Amino acid sequence: MNQTLADVLQLVALVGALALVHRPFGDYMAAVYSSGRHLRVERLLYRCIGADPGAQMRWPAYLRSVLAFSVVGVLFLYAMQRFQDKLPLSLGFAPIDPDQAFNTAASFVANTNWQSYAGESAMGHLTQMAGLAVQNFVSAAVGMAVAIALVRGFVRARTGELGNFWADLVRGVVRILLPVAFLSALALVAMGAVQNFSGMHEVHTLSGATQHIPGGPVASQEVIKELGTNGGGFFNANSAHPFENPNGLSNLLEIFLILVIPFSLTRTFGTMVGSVRQGYAILAAMGIIWLGSVLVITASEYAHPGTAAQLAGGAMEGKEQRFGEGSSSLFAASTTMTSTGAVNSFHDSFTAFGGGTTLLGMMLGEIAPGGVGSGLYGMLIMAVVAVFIAGLMVGRTPEYLGKKIGTREIKFAASYILITPALVLGGTALAMALPDGKEAMTNIGAHGFTEVLYAYTSGANNNGSAFAGFGADTPFFNTTIGLCMLLGRFLPMVFVLALAGSLASQTPVPTTAGTLRTEKPLFSGMLVGSVTIITGLTFFPALALGPLAEGLSR
């Protein structure tokens, strides 16, 4: 079959599968978060943590619960790594160094899963399962809970109550993530992924070399890293490793898992606010940006000049022969347009414009469709900004879903938008000004600068992927990127929940002839334009020094 045709069919199959589950899965999640009934296992968990699931929280209490739970997660995961050698199933691995243990704990609690270590030679099975994989579940559930709290802010009136964080957290894990992850793990094992508790196997290659190949609970961790848009990998090669991603069918399943919750949450949003067309407007904006990224990266990788690339049919350096340019580009766009960070090819080897587009995907705020929960609340923040801009253009007080967008609300939205650029550009400038940054680059010039810029963009946006040539395992980068991951995750949540509380306390305003119709295609276009312009104004100078300079110089 012609490779281009195969790539098109793969994209059509993916979009078709996402469309097929969009309505039932989105409505199911809306029912989960709106239900007044608690399952028996959920009631047991509430008793264990001492939570009252029926108690309503205002935004400060909701925020305190999010932060307290996350702080405990960081401390627990840090301690597990530091005392790994004393735990069962450690495989004889030594404790993780303090700076790397902090970086990893911050990374997995912040839903980033940035890794400055090789998983198969550093982490024991218990640390992988009870530490990293558990955080893959709960960090994703935290993001979903915050998104649902913001949706409730639009729905509720004359009250500052946003629901109960503990109930939202438990339901997200028990009713959504665990069932889908369990079924997907079985499917992945059936496709050839590894799932066992074995240690190292010594094998001899045809050339006489000796290799030590580890086993482990790979499939179960693989599915939740994709489903929860976490990223990371059981193996250093990540989803390019055949034990994690055996073939083209498993590759398509993993891309589907990355996208299914973020895209379906738009239906959840529409159902909860009482207008599914509002959800479709958000979905359209997300879909346009995501599809544009897929097309640009794919075209860049196929059109790469050079004799070797022409003979190979495209830029094959850093890509698995099993997947080729099309599947690699689709995976790369999906993982950087969400906060996943898993990779089935190495972005450092992409063309200048292909790699630059993956970088731009993260700079957009990972809102198309974005991370689990974080993509929805990030896009809703941009919707608030788009409505505000439209109000300025026509001289009318902006409104969104019956709520006025006044000075207080736009300050929260603006603060949310400014946090990540400050972390990315500030971190990159600090690294480039110090010897540590220059020593970590394996390339000089524009590409070397892009490696550093990519690292801080990935950390602050809670993505976790990296340009593979970047040497990040130093105390300086473990510490600074770790701080960027924590601040980039939890500072925006402060303003999201504050905005939700402000909206929930308002009295709804009636719809009039002058009200902007936010369920129309025009608004979706305005939303895409707002996202593109704001990001372009913020990051264009940095992009001009990195991938744009590299691409235009060839």
Q: What is the pLDDT of residues 104-142, one digit of tens each?
A: 999 999 999 998 887 787 888 889 888 999 999 999 999
pLDDT over 90 for what percent of the chain? Answer: 65
User: Which one has a higher pLDDT value, 246 or 233?
Assistant: 246
Average pLDDT over residues 255-264: 97
| Whether pLDDT at 412 is above 80 | yes
In sequence order, what are the beta bridge partners of 201?
213
Distance CA 545, CA 444 (A): 12
Q: Which two tokens stand for residue 349?
A: 């080897």
**Residue 554: what pLDDT?**
65
Average pLDDT over residues 475-499: 95
Look over the chain and give the mean of its residue pLDDT values, rounded to a whole number: 90
Average pLDDT over residues 418-431: 94
Q: What is the pLDDT of residues 52-107, one digit of tens each?
A: 999 999 999 999 999 999 999 999 999 999 999 898 888 888 999 999 999 999 99
**Residue 170: what pLDDT?**
97
Report the length, in residues, of the chain.
554
Distance CA 257, CA 225 (A): 9
Q: What is the pLDDT of residues 397-409, one digit of tens each?
A: 789 999 999 999 9
**Residue 515: what pLDDT?**
81
| Phi–psi pair at 403, nearest 5 degrees | -120, 135
pTM over 0.85: yes
| Whether pLDDT at 368 is above 80 | yes
| Whether pLDDT at 226 is above 70 | yes
| Whether pLDDT at 2 is above 60 | yes
Radius of gyration of the chain (CA): 23
**Residue 215: what pLDDT?**
81
**Least reliable range by pLDDT among 315-329, 370-384, 424-438:** 315-329
Whether the bond between 24 and the residue before it is cis, its omega within 30 degrees of 0, is: no
**Residue 485: what pLDDT?**
96
Distance CA 303, CA 253 (A): 27
**Residue 57: what pLDDT?**
96
Name the CA dihedral angle for 144, 150, 151, 152, rounded to a multiple of 10 degrees.
110
**Residue 311: what pLDDT?**
54
**Least reliable range by pLDDT among 31-40, 50-59, 87-96, 145-154:** 87-96
Q: What is the pLDDT of residues 268-326, one digit of tens each?
A: 999 999 999 999 999 999 999 999 999 999 998 887 666 555 555 566 777 888 888 88
**Least reliable range by pLDDT among 173-182, 221-230, 380-389, 441-450:** 441-450
**What residue type is 453 in one-letter code?**
L
pLDDT over 70 for what percent of the chain? Answer: 97
**Residue 17: what pLDDT?**
97
**Residue 509: what pLDDT?**
87
**Residue 297: what pLDDT?**
93
**Residue 314: what pLDDT?**
60
| Phi–psi pair at 213, nearest 5 degrees | -110, 120
